Structure 1
């Protein structure tokens, strides 16, 4: 019977790993966002840069939206710095919004600050 118990434990471990990986992928990939292109302009309220990606909260018509910008290396590659993402600065975001009804979350492909484009995902059309 030890073999049966081991088999059950192994199955449980595999299923747990699968669900943990699929949950992480659902958010950190593009699967959680719509396929439609989306554009929004607002004023930066707060910034949190770092891994797994940065987040910029912007105010749009009195509502806060969270914008996922790139990972630190991706932001650095395009020249998007913390100073550019300073509070009270206007930003236009091109990307994809959350597919979850009512969630004010956008994954940025490209941002525009002071008329300059910062293309975080140059291989994606935005």
Structure 2
């Protein structure tokens, strides 16, 4: 799925860095990034973005569709892609 919104919070704490993203409908999504090494290797750090920045997240939604939660495969901020799992991106 693709989620577009603005970053509400950024956490780089283990076990997985994560973001809270406010979607256009006002729903706040939990977006888990890769493990710390994958996230770092993607080029994303705690200083890459800030709350209020626009973001697009390509990833896998929680199997329970009632939960606004997803695992990011790629995040895009200011036109730059940060690929957490590049092997999962087909286009």
Per the normalisation by structure 1, the TM-score is: 0.66
Q: Distance in 2 between matches of 1:58 and 1:72?
A: 19
**8 Å CA contact 1:50, 1:71 repeated in 2:** no
Deviating beyond 2 angstroms after TM superposition, the runs of 4 or more aligned structure 1 residues are none
- Residue 86 (structure 1) shift: 1.1
Deviations 1:49-68 (A, max 9, x none): 12221110011121100100
SS in 2 for 1:42: strand
| Mapped contact 2:3–2:58 kept (Cα < 8 A) | yes
Instruction: Structure 1: state its 5+ residue gaps.
Output: 1-37
Whole-angstrom distance in 2 between the partners of 1:124 and 1:43: 24
Find 1:77's aligned residue among 30, 41, 49.
41
1:95 aligns with 2:59: yes
RMSD: 1.2
Contact 1:42 1:90 in 2 (8 A): yes
- Provide the secondary structure at the position in 1 that maps to 2:81: strand
Of the three residues 31, 44, 50, the one matched with 2:13 is: 50
How far the C-alpha of 1:125 sits from its partner, in A, is: 2.5
Mapped to 2, the partners of 1:95 and 1:101 lie a distance apart of 14
Residue-pair matches, total: 89
Whichever structure has more strand as a proportion of its residues is 2
The structure with more radius of gyration: 1
